[in-house]
Structure 1
Amino acid sequence: MKKSIYLLALTFLFISCSDNDDVIVEQCGQPQNVTVNNITFDSASVTWDNNSATSYTLEYGLSGFTLGSGTSENVTNNTALFSGLSANTAYDVYVSANCSTSNTSMYTGPISFVTSAPLVVPEFLPNLSELNLFEGELNNLMPSERAFIYNLNTTLFTDYAYKQRILALPEGTSMEYVDDGFPNFPDNTVMAKTFYYLNNERDESEGKQIIETRVLILKNGIWELGNYKWNSDQTDAVLDNTTSNVAVSYLDTNGATVNVDYAIPSAQQCIDCHNNNNIIIPIGPRLRALNGNNQLEDWISNNYLSNLTDVSQVAVLPNWEDAVNYTLEERARAYFDMNCAHCHTDGGFCGDQSYLRLSYDTPFADSYIFEDKINIDTRMSFYYQGVSMPLIGTTMMHPEGYDLISQYLDTL
């Protein structure tokens, strides 16, 4: 009897320890090959390899955030789109797989990404910072990744002010080559030229005084202009199209103190210079003035400029200060082209008042330089507002420019 009871108990023991009480649940696998793509200034998409999970949990936040403190999202496929992100911002994202309510994987991550710069705004908003032309501290004048600096072979004289020129094209567009003059700019192109003085020209680390940023915006094929005046704290600039003067004092390359009563032009004065046959046009960025230091080659390779493969097709406007590579006449004509020709041209501000035609590509016989050389010399030799030349944009004569033109006129 005891033996029978023992066998019965042993049988129950084997039954209670059968495989039915030892079910092994496979751990839900972590998402693999998580990637972030299609990153814009305010959105990004995340993808990963699909597995046997029924859903996935994503958590994202600013780079370095702690799990549990971010934004969570559940999806049933292997992709997710984040929107409403901040521009120029670093983010982390984690992804886990859900095979059942009680079986989830460990998180894969962090996967890091950075949103792109905000789009440049082709509107005249109250503050320069709102146009998104720059990134970081505004007074560092660091162009947004959506804008780029351009340089001219010969520049306009403006009381020895330094200038930063930047250009922003709408996303996915380019300028189109036509000839040596202006390219065709796409609508919503933004040009900005910022005027400033170094506090000490011998030591740039001593900072600068930024005066104004002049802006041109192409809207529906028509250029519009506006002027932003920088505040005294140098933190931003305000749209203000009235004329005013700013006192500037700096040390030049010789260590001498230079005082300038810098004149910010009014909107009407800007129109006077930029007007041609009652149409506002830029002044500087003709391709012949941009053709130097591989600049046009860079534009082509970066898809900024189309319809041109060989830049040798484009003429070169000489650097008026380069006496090694250019003749006196070439340099003088280049100076005229950049400093005077926008007014002294057909349809320009002085087009009906003067016979002078001072564009670089105007044949000498048609320029009337010889016939008017005495008047040119006289009106460039001193400064008197409303009489001397240039008529607008300076508060002093330009000794170096006058010396060049005077020497040239003496050869005629």
Structure 2
Amino acid sequence: MKKISLLVLISLLIFSCNKDDEMVQQCIAPTNLTETNITYHSATIQWEDANEAQSFRILYGVSGFPMGSGNTFTVTGNTATINGLLPNTTYDYYVDSYCDANNISLFSTVKSFTTLSSPVSTEFQPTLSEMNLFAGTLNQLQPSAYAFEYQLHTPLFTDYAHKQRLIALPAGQTLEVNGDGFPNFPDNTVIAKTFYYNIDDRDESLGKTIVETRVLIKKSGIWQLGNYKWNTAQTEAYLDTDGGTVPLVWIDTDGNENSVNYNIPNSQDCIKCHNNTGIITPIGPKLRSLNFEVNGINQLQKLKDFNLLNGLSSPDDISILPNWEDTNNYTLAERARAYLDVNCAHCHSPGGFCSDQMPLDFRYETPFEDTNIDAFKYAISGYTSFYSPGVSMPLIGTTMVHQEGHDLIQAYVNSL
């Protein structure tokens, strides 16, 4: 009897051990989490699974969200695409495994990714913020990751306004070199120029007043024009065709207070300057006007390095439009011709708005004897010496005499 009892006890122990051996193993958390195909509104994530789990739960949210909260969804494979994300935003996420309903893993390690900026709109939107030309707070004028900021060696004068110039190309497209002038722009190119005044030019940290942002979009080979007028709160700019006048006060680098009734052009004014022989065209971004260093880097070389400009062997192959203020490297004639080119040639050249009224050709490349500058030198000097709407020059875009520019023209005229 004792032997039988002992055998029963041993059998029970063996049976119990077998039951222990069959206890369910704890579900292991996913490992090696990675992200691919990140866009401005989605991201695909993958992970490794040591369990052959039935399903996985993804938890995600804007970076820093509390563990256990956030958005969740479940998938059956070890890859998932998260949709509906905000652009230019950092997200955290983690994953756990469901081996079965009663066996769920711990959370994986937390991973992060940042979505891309929204692509620049190639259609005119009601507001400037919807154009996606800028990242962050709109009035900081921080260019989108898809926009290239550039400057002109000799800029056009607009009542002493400062300007920020941007160009955004469609993904995978480039500018194509076409001589020293305008490159060939692909369809869906967006060009933007924002006009603003610093409160005090001696200290830019004091802020600025932004007035307007002019936009050109190339659609099916044709440039379209639009203008965005900024509100007084400086929080948004709205698509506008009417133009208007904005009174402004600023302090210049000499500490003098200045005022201007800044004139925002209406849509017809824009067409007058940008129209040549019935074709709308940009005015500023010719390769010869970009061919100089900004912050120690040649702009054409930078465009090439960013794979935004094709057909350029070296910036040395492109001519340089002189800087009208650079008295050390350029002659009086070179500086004056450059000034007239940028400020006047879009109207005063063959096919321009004023080509019928006065047969002048202010393009820098035009040989002097073909410009008619000498024949009309006194008119050129006279019409730039005063301001009268509809009479003085430039006809559009200014409400005052550019004294420094007129002094240059006068000196040039006197030298002829």
TM range (shorter): over 0.9
The question of 1:321 aligning with 2:321 is answered no
TM-score (norm 1): 0.96
DSSP 3-state at the match of 1:332 = helix
Q: Distance in 1 between matches of 2:244 and 2:30?
A: 63
Shift of 1:50: 4.4
> Which residue of structure 2 lines up, in the alignment, with residue 41 of structure 1?
40
The residue correspondences of 1:216-235 to structure 2 (distance < 5 A) are: 216-235=216-235
AA aligned to 2:48 is: D
2:6 counterpart of 1:10: yes
Secondary structure, aligned partner of 2:61: strand
1:345 and 2:383 correspond: no
Alpha-carbon RMSD across the aligned residues, in angstroms, is: 1.4
Distance 1:209 1:66 in 2: 40
* Pairs aligned (count): 408
Q: Deviations over 1:241-279 (max 9, x none)?
A: 113111111111222211111111111111000000111
Write the letter of the residue equivalent to 1:92.
D
Tell me which amino acid in the other structure corresponds to 2:50: N
Aligned partner of residue 374 in structure 1, secondary structure: helix
In 2, distance between residues paired with 1:99 and 1:306?
Answer: 54
- Report the Cα distance in structure 2 between the residues aligned to 1:197 and 1:210, rounded to whole angstroms: 6
Name stretches of at least 5 consecutive residues in structure 2 with no aligned partner. Answer: none
Q: Distance in 2 between matches of 1:152 and 1:124?
A: 25
2:29 touches 2:49 (CA, 8 Å); kept in 1? no
- For residues 107 and 172 of structure 2, the distance between their equivalents in structure 1, rounded to whole angstroms, comes to 37
Give yes or no for the alignment of 1:363 onto 2:367. Answer: yes
Q: CA deviation at 1:284?
A: 0.2
The 10-residue stretch of structure 1 (135-144 or 267-276) with the greater mean CA deviation from structure 2? 135-144
2:403 to 399, 404, 408: 399
Indicate the SS of the match to 1:259. strand
Aligned match of 1:208: 208
CA distance in 2, matches of 1:331, 1:317: 9
Matches of 1:102 and 1:17, distance apart in 2 = 27
Indicate conservation of the 8 Å contact 2:223/2:280, yes or no: yes
- Which residue type is aligned with residue 377 of structure 2? K
Q: CA deviation at 1:197?
A: 0.8
Q: Distance in 1 between matches of 2:348 and 2:402?
A: 18
Name the structure 2 match of 1:128: 128
Alpha-carbon distance in structure 2 between the residues aligned to 1:216 and 1:372:
33
Q: Aligned equivalents of 2:369 and 2:331: distance in 1?
A: 18
Q: How does 1:9-408 map to 2 (within 5 A)?
A: 9-18=5-14, 19-23=17-21, 24-54=23-53, 55-293=55-293, 294-408=298-412
Q: Distance in 2 between matches of 1:21 and 1:14?
A: 14
1:297-352 deviation per Cα after TM superposition (whole angstroms, max 9, x unaligned) = 11111111112232211111111111111111111111011001001111100112
How far off its partner does 1:16 sit? 1.1
In the aligned structure 2, how far is the partner of 1:215 from the partner of 1:238? 12
Counterpart CA distance in 2 for 1:83 and 1:184 is: 36
Gaps of 5+ in 1: none
- Give SS of 1:34's match: strand
Q: Partners of 2:165 and 2:309 in 1: how far apart?
A: 17
Secondary structure of the structure 2 residue equivalent to 1:13 = helix
Q: TM-score, normalised by structure 2?
A: 0.95
The one-letter code sitting in structure 2 at the alignment partner of 1:388 is S
**Which amino acid letter does the alignment assign opposite residue 380 of structure 2?**
I
CA drift of 1:115 comes to 0.7
1:69 CA displacement:
2.1
